[in-house]
Structure 1
Amino acid sequence: MIKKGIGRQIVMQYFIVVFVTLFMVEVIFSLAIRVYYYDTIYNHMSTHSTWASDFFQKFVRLSSERDPAYFTEMLRTFELDNTELMILNRKGEVKASSNMFQADKAIQTSDVMQAAAGNMGKWVGRQTSTGEMVMAVSTPLQVRGENRYIVRFVTSLEAVNANLMKLTLFSAAVCLAVLALVTLFSIGLANSIVKPINNIRAVSAQMAKGKFDVRIKGDYRYELGELAATLNYMAQEIVRSNELKDDFISSISHELRTPLTGIKGWSETLTLGGFDPEETKIGMGIIAKETDRLIGLVEEMLDFSKLQRNEMKLVIGQVNLKELLQETMLNVWAKAEQKGIQIKLEDRTTQPVTVTGDGNRLKQVFLNLVDNAIKFSDENSWIHLVISRTEPGYVLVEVVDTGIGISEEHLNKVKDRFFQVNHQGGGTGLGLAITQQLVDLHHGTMDLHSELGVGTTVSVKLPLSEEEETGNGNNSEPDASAAGEAALDSGRNDAGGEKNGEEMG
C-alpha cells in the first residue's frame, strides 16, 4: 500500500486516466463487434430472403401458388443451415416451415408486420416457445402485385452471443493486464520522483536546522536537478555569508578596540596630570583622531543598515561634478601626501558637467573610491580622476590608480558586503557595497577593471541632469582640436607641468 503523498496521487491519477480510457475502449469494442456480427447475419438472411421473393414472383403460377407442395419445394431450395425458414400469410399464420414443429398461433412480431406492409422487416428478441435469443428477417411475397405471403428466416443468436461474451471477456482481461502494467509503471515513476523529493526534503530540513555543510547528492535531471542545485547553491552562499559575517565581526571588533584602547589610555594618562602643554596637546589630538575614526566606522555601518532597509533618504539637487571631485581631492590630500601619492583631476569635457543627485552622497561615493585607491597604492605613485562624456545623456568618472590591483578570483566579490581582500588592511568590508548601492540610487552604474600588480580602474557612469542633457546635447563629445589639446596637456602634466588640469601631491 502506497502511503499518502505525491506518490499516491501520481499512481491514482495514472490509474484513473488509464482505467477510464480502457473502459471506453472496451465498451466501444464490445458494441462494435456485436454490431458487426449481427449485421453480418442480417445481411446473409436478407440476401436469401430477396432471392426467395424474386424466385417466387418469377416462377409462381396461380395454379401452383395454392399448391402446398410448392411451399415445400421452396423451403428445400432456400433453406439455410441453423436457420428456420417459414412461409406465412399476411395474418402471420404459418403455412409451411422447415421445422417440423408448427406454431399454434399467428406470429405478430415487428418483422412480420413490416413485411405485411410491403417492406423487409428485422426483429431481434427472445422466442416465446424456447426462450432463446433469435434474429428474424421477413420479406413479402407478391402475387400479381399483391402481398399475399411472407417468407421468414429465423436463426438463433445464442452461439453468437456466447462468442461475443468470450471476446468481451478476453478483451477485458487484456485491459486488466494493461491496467496492471500501467499501475506498476506509475509506481516506478512515482518512486523516481518521490525518492529525490524525499532526499531533497530531508537535506533541506537539516539546512533549516542550521546544518549548512550538508549537500544534496545525486544526479537529478530537469526541475529536480535545478531545485537540488539551487538549494546547494543557497547553502553555499549562506556558509559564505556566515564566514564573511564572522570575518566582519572579528574585523570590526579589532577596528573598534584599537581606537578605544588609544582613547582610554590617553584619557587615563591625561587624568593623572603632570604633563607639559605640548604632551597634553598630542594626547588630545590622538583622542580626537581616534574618536573621528570611531564615528566613521559607526556612520558606515548606519549607512549600510539604512540602505539594506531602503531607508536612505537623498537630498536631490544639481551637483557640479568637477567641483565635487575637487573637494574630494582636498579631503584626501593629507592622506595622499603621507604616502607621496599625486592625485590629478583631468576634465575631458568642454563645459561644466551637472548631475541630479545628493551632493553629500555622491561625495561619499568618490571619497570612498579615492580613499581605497590611496590605501592600496604604493608610495610615490599617482591617481587620476578623469571626467568624460562617452555617450549621450551620461557622464563617466574614472578613478585610475597604479596600485596592487585585484586578482580575478576576488574581482567579482569586492562589491559584496563584508568582503575584504586583505583582512589586515582594516575597515569593515562595507565600503564598496555602500558605494555600489549609492550609485544605484542615483540610477548609475559602477564597474571595476583591475589587473594584479598593475592597478585598478573604477568607472562610475551617472545620468546628466535634464538641463545639462538638453542644453549641451550637441557637445557630448569634444572636437578634434580640444581632444588634441587635452592629450598635449596630459603629456605636459606627466612631465611635471600643471597646465589645464588640477594636480595635488
Structure 2
Amino acid sequence: MIKKGIGRQIVLHYFIVVFVTLFMVEVIFTLAIRMYYYDTIYNHMSNHSMWASDYFQKFVRLNAEGDPDYFTEMLRTFELDNTELMILDRSGEVKASTNAFQADKAIQTSDVPQALAGSVGKWIGRQTATGELVMAVSRPLQIQGQTQYIVRYVTSMESVNSKLLNLTFMSIAVSAAVLALVTLFSIGLANSIVRPINNIRAVSAQMARGKFDARIKGNYRYELGELASTLNYMAEEIVRSNQIKDDFISSISHELRTPLTGIKGWSETLTSGGFDPEETKIGMGIIAKETDRLIGLVEEILDFSKLQSNEMKLVIGEVNLKELLQETMLNVWAKAEQKQIQLKLEDKTEGSSIISGDGNRLKQVFLNVVDNAIKFSHEQSWIHLVISRVENERVRVEVIDTGIGISEEYLNKVKDRFFQVNHQGGGTGLGLAISQQLVELHHGAMEIQSELGVGTTVSVTLPLLNDSAPTGTQTQR
C-alpha cells in the first residue's frame, strides 16, 4: 500500500488514465469484432439468398409446382451448410424446412415483412421454442415481379458469441496485464521522484534547524536537480552571510570602541584638570572628531536599515551633476591632499547634465565612491571624474583611479552588505551596498570594473531630467 503523498497521486493518475484508455479500447474492440463477425455471417447468407432468388425462375421452369417433391427439391437446391433453410409462403407459413421440427404457426419476425416488401430482411433474436440466439435472413422468390415464396436462412449465433466471449476475455486479460505493468512502472517512477524529494525535504529540515553545513547529495536531473542546487546555494549564501555578519559585528565593534575609547580617555583627562588651554583645545578637538566619526557610523547603519525596510525618503528635485561632483571634490580635497592625489573633473556632455533626484543622497553616493578611490589609491596618483552622455537619454558618471584594484574573486561581492575586502581598513562594509540601493532608487545603475594592481572604475548611470519628471518627496517602494 502506497502511503499518502505525491507518489500515490502519480500512481493513481497513471492508473486512471491507462484504465480509462484500456476500457475505451476494450469496448471499441469488442463492438468492432462483433460487428465484423455478424456482418460476415449476414453477407454470406445474403449473397446465397440472392443467388437463390436469381436461380428461382430457372428452378420453376425445371420443376412443376404441383410435383410432391417440389419443395424437397427446392430445399436441396438452395440449402446452405450449417444453416437452416425455410421456404415460406406470403403469409409466413412454413412450406418446407431443413429442420425436422416444423413450426406450428406462421413466422412473424421482422425479416419476413421486409422480404414481402421486396427487400432483404434481417432479424437477430432468440427463438421462442429453444431460446437460442439466431440470425435470420429472408429474401423474396419472385416470378414476373410477383413474390411467390420467401427463402429464409436461419443460423445459430451461439458458437459465434462463444468465440467472441473468449476473445473478450483474452483482451481483458491482456488489458489487465498492461494495466499491471503500467502500475508497476508508475510506482517506480513515483519512487524515483519521491525519494529525491524526501531527501531534499530532510536536508531542508536540517537547514531550517540551523544546520547550514548540511548539503543535498545526489546527481538529480531536471527540476529536482535545479531545486537541490538552489537549496545548496542558499545554504552556502547563508553561511557566507553569517560569516560576513560576524565579521561586520567584529569590525563595527572595533570601529565603535576606538572613538569611544578616545572620547572616554580625553573626557577623563580633561575632567581631572591641570591642562593649559592649548592641550584642552586639542582634547576637545579629538572628542569632537571621534564623535563625528561615531555619528557617521550610526547614520550609515540607520540608512541601511531604512533601505532594508523600504522607509527611505527621497526629496526629488533638479540636480546639476557637474555642480554636485564639484562639491564632492571640495569635501574630499583635504583627504586627497594628504596623499598628494590629484582630482580632476571632465564634462563630456556638451550641454546640461541635469537630472531628477535627491541631491543629498546622490552626493552621499559620490562621496562614498570618491572616498573609497582615495582610500585605496597610491600616493601621488590621480583620480579622474568623467561625465558623459549615453543612449536613451541617460548620463554616466565614471570615477576612475589607478589604485590597488580589486581581484576578480571579490569583484562581484564588493557591493554585498557587510562585505569588506580588507577588514583592517575600517568601516562597516555598508557603503557600496547603500550606494547601490540609492542609485537604484533613482532608476539608475552602478557598475564596478577593476583589475588587481591596475585600478578601478566605478560607473553610475542615471536618467536625464525630462518634462514629466516628478518632484517633491518620494518614499522607497
Bin the TM-score by the shorter chain.
over 0.9
Residue of structure 2 in register with 1:28 after alignment: 28
Q: How many residues align?
A: 468
* TM-superposed deviation, 1:261: 0.8
Amino acid of the structure 2 residue aligned with 1:192: S
Q: Residue 47 of structure 1 aligns with which residue?
A: 47
What CA distance in whole angstroms lies between the structure 2 residues aligned with 1:323 and 1:76?
Answer: 124
Question: Structure 1 residue 391: deviation in Å?
Answer: 4.7
Mark the CA change 1:31 to 1:308 in structure 2 (over 3 Å): closer, same or farther: same
Q: Which letter maps to 1:104?
A: D
Instruction: Confirm whether residue 165 of structure 1 aligns to residue 165 of structure 2.
Output: yes
For structure 1, list consecutive stretches of 5 or more residues without a partner in the other structure: 470-505
Instruction: State the SS of the aligned residue for 1:386.
Output: strand
- Bigger drift between 71-80 and 8-17 goes to 71-80
**Cα distance in 2, alignment partners of residues 148 and 412 from structure 1:** 106
Query: What's the CA shift for 1:192?
Result: 1.2
- Contact 2:84-2:98 at 8 Å conserved across structures: yes
SS of residue in 2 equivalent to 1:378: coil
Match of 2:414 in 1: 414
Q: In structure 2, do the counterparts of structure 1 residues 253 and 142 end up closer, same or farther at CA, with 3 Å as the change threshold?
A: same
What SS does structure 2 have at the residue aligned with 1:220? coil
Q: TM-score, structure 2 length as denominator? A: 0.93
In 2, distance between residues paired with 1:152 and 1:277?
A: 143
Give, in whole Å, the separation in 2 of the partners of 1:459 and 1:190.
52
Q: CA deviation at 1:393?
A: 2.9
* Alignment partners' CA distance in 1, 2:391 and 2:136: 96
Match of 2:246 in 1: 246
1:394/1:92 CA distance change after superposition, 3 Å? closer
Q: What is the deviation of 1:144?
A: 4.4
- Alignment pair present for 1:102 and 2:102: yes
1:308-387 map, 5 Å: 308-351=308-351, 353-387=353-387
- Of 380-389 and 156-165, more deviation after overlay is shown by 380-389
CA distance in 1, matches of 2:446, 2:53: 103
- 1:263 is matched with 263
Shift of 1:299: 0.5
| Structure 1 residue aligned with 2:396 | 396
Q: What is the CA distance between 1:92 and its match in structure 2?
A: 1.9
Give the CA deviation at 1:62: 10
Classify the secondary structure of the residue corresponding to 1:68: coil
Partner amino acid, structure 1, of 2:171 = S
Q: SS of the residue aligned with 1:225?
A: helix
For residue 316 of structure 1, give the secondary structure of its aligned residue in structure 2. Answer: strand
Choose 366-375 or 457-466, whichever is displaced more.
457-466
- The one-letter code of the counterpart of 2:272 is L
Task: Give 3-state SS (helix, strand or coil) of 1:60's partner.
Answer: helix
- Determine what percentage of the aligned residue pairs are the same residue: 82
Distance, in Å, in 1 between the alignment partners of 2:113 and 2:373 is 113
- Counterparts of 1:25 and 1:350 in 2: how far apart (Å)? 79
Quote the residue 1:71 is aligned against: 71
Matched to 1:208, the amino acid is A
Deviation per residue, 1:151-199 (Å, 9 max, x gap): 1111111111111111111111111111111111111111111111111
* Distance apart, 1:390 and its partner CA: 4.7
Whether the 8 Å contact between 2:63 and 2:70 is mirrored in structure 1 is no
**Runs of at least 4 residues off by over 6 Å:** none
Distance 1:201 1:63 in 2: 95
Where 2:21 maps in the other structure, the secondary structure is helix
> Which SS does the other structure have where 2:315 is aligned?
coil
CA contact (8 A) 2:303 2:312 kept: yes
Distance 1:392 1:181 in 2: 62
Q: Please give the per-residue CA displacement for 1:276-295, whole angstroms capped at 9, x wherever unaligned.
A: 21211111111111000000
Question: Could you tell me how far 1:17 is from its partner in structure 2?
Answer: 0.9
Instruction: Give the Cα separation in 1 of the matches to 2:396 and 2:438.
Output: 16
Instruction: State the AA in 2 paired with 1:406.
Output: I
Q: Distance in 2 between matches of 1:285 and 1:351?
A: 44
Matched to 1:277, the amino acid is: P
User: What is the correspondence of 1:85-124 to structure 2 with a 5 Å cutoff?
Assistant: 85-124=85-124
Are residues 257 and 124 of structure 1, via their aligned partners in 2, closer, same or farther at CA, if it must alter by over 3 Å?
Answer: same
Shift of residue 7 of structure 1? 0.8
Q: Which position in structure 2 is the counterpart of 1:230?
A: 230
Change (3 A) 1:74 1:264: same
Aligned partner of residue 218 in structure 1, secondary structure: coil
| SS state at 2:378 partner | coil
Shift of 1:445: 2.2
The answer for unaligned runs of 5 or more in structure 2 is: 470-477
Residue 218 of structure 1 and its aligned partner are, at CA, apart by 1.4
Aligned to 1:137: 137
The CA deviation string for residues 58-101 of structure 1, in whole angstroms up to 9 with x for no partner, is: 23149811323121112112222221112121222222122222
When structure 1 is superposed on structure 2, of 95-104 and 410-419 the one drifting more is 95-104
Task: Give the match for residue 442 of structure 1.
Answer: 442
Distance 2:352 2:51 in 1: 114
Change beyond 3 A, Cα 1:42–1:323: closer
Distance in 1 between residues matched to 2:27 and 2:57, nearest whole Å: 44
Taking structure 1 as the reference length, the TM-score comes to 0.88
Give the structure 2 partner of residue 493 of structure 1.
Answer: none
Deviations 1:452-484 (A, max 9, x none): 1121121222333237x9xxxxxxxxxxxxxxx
Residue identity matched to 2:159: A
Supply the distance in 2 between the matched residues of 1:63 and 1:402 (Cα, whole angstroms): 129
Q: In the alignment, what sits opposite 1:191?
A: 191
Aligned partners of 2:359 and 2:200: how far apart in 1? Answer: 50
Tell me by how many angstroms 1:406 deviates: 0.6
CA change 1:350–1:142 in 2 (3 A) is closer
Maintained 8 Å contact 2:87/2:151: yes
Of 152-161 and 443-452, more deviation after overlay is shown by 443-452
Counterpart of 1:207, as a letter, is: M
Matches of 1:333 and 1:63, distance apart in 2 = 139
Q: Which residue of 2 aligns with 1:216?
A: 216
Q: Does the C-alpha gap of structure 1 residues 249 and 92 become closer, same or farther in structure 2, counting only changes over 3 Å?
A: same
Amino acid across the alignment from 1:404? I
Instruction: Find out whether 1:127 has 2:134 as its counterpart.
Output: no
Give the corresponding residue for 2:203: 203
Alpha-carbon distance change, 107 to 435 in structure 1, aligned in 2, over 3 angstroms: same
Q: State the secondary structure of the residue aligned to 2:314.
A: coil
**Superposed counterparts of 1:454-473, under 5 Å:** 454-466=454-466
